[in-house]
Amino acid sequence: MPLPSSLAGKRCLDVGTADGFWAFEMESRGADEVVAIDVDDPGDYDWPGQVDAAQRAAFERDHPNHRRAFELVHELRGSRVQRRNMRVTDLPGADVGRFDFVFIGSLLLHLRDPVGALQAIAAVLDGTLLSVDAISPQLTLMHPVQPVARLEAPGWPLWWVMNLAAYRRLFPAAGLTIERAGRPFAVRPGPAAHPHQPRAGRRPWSVAQERVRHRVGIPHAWVLARHSGDMSPLP
């Protein structure tokens, strides 16, 4: 991914920071200031309207405590990264200032309005946005040119499964111009990853696909974008 080797003199934003990996990485690359945002309470995630109460409770119970991990690393590093508990769509009205570089990773598929999320980022963006997100290899092979997305919205906060064309189409729809776009690559689980546990109620074929993704990796792609000249960001 084209993460700049030096971010000296830059004010940076990490959207959906989780345990802060990318925020701390931007700080280590010399950023003058890094703001990291995320929703700390899983109950405040972008949930579908109809979710089994027991399934939701299990998700919230087993969800990793990203805030605690962030604070631990923050203390050990003596970091100056500022973490804020907020949604990406709150950015335009929040007192966060403007940013030279923004990173958003593996979040758009979890939002019911990914275009709205990118518009919210555009409202505080003065420089470059680097987005990395999961894509569907099946939909990409079946529809290499036409933007296609499958609506998921199951019993957990996953809304969209997109092909590569649909993922790239999000940015001009949000008033952003793509400068560069990378080819798909696999994000593999590391040695400390949790054991694979298929979600309850999944069909056998879906369970098999999940096992393959866990072993081989989840296909992702990246986009580097700026403001478009023919569309204005949100005020």
Half-sphere exposure of 37 (CA within 13 A, CB side): 19
Residue 195 belongs to a domain: no
Average pLDDT of the residues of the chain: 89
pLDDT in tens, 78-110: 999 999 999 999 999 999 999 999 999 999 999
Full DSSP string of 98-128: -EEEEEEES-GGGSS-HHHHHHHHHTTEEEE
pLDDT attached to residue 210: 63
CA–CA dist 159, 154 (Å, integer): 8
**Residue percentage of the chain with pLDDT more than 70:** 86
Round to whole Å and give the CA distance between 177 and 165.
Answer: 15
Reduce the DSSP state of residue 156 to 3 states and report it: coil
| Structural domain span for residue 39 | 11-189+220-227
Helices 66-77 & 21-28 angle (0-180, nearest 10): 20
pLDDT tens across 150-195, in order?
A: 999 888 899 999 999 999 999 999 999 999 999 999 988 766 444 4
DSSP β-ladder status, 176-181 and 185-187:
unpaired
pLDDT of residue 206: 56
pLDDT band at 11 (very low <50, low <70, confident <90, very high): very high
Q: What angle do CA 230, 231, 235 make, to 5 degrees?
A: 145
Q: How many domains does the chain have?
A: 1
Q: Exposed, middle or buried: residue 98 (CB in 10 Å: 0-12, 13-18, 19+)? A: exposed
Q: Is residue 200 part of a domain?
A: no
Strand 125-134 relative to strand 218-227, pairing: antiparallel
pLDDT at 227 (0 to 100): 87
**Does 20 map to a domain?**
yes
Residue 72: CATH number of its domain: 3.40.50.150
What count of residues does the chain have? Answer: 235
Tell me, yes or no, whether 209 lies in a domain. Answer: no
Enclosing H/E stretch for 145: none
Specify the residue for token string 């950015």.
Answer: 91
Q: Is the residue at 232 inside a domain?
A: no
Position 196 in a domain: no
Lowest-pLDDT range of 28-32, 69-73, 181-185, 211-215: 211-215
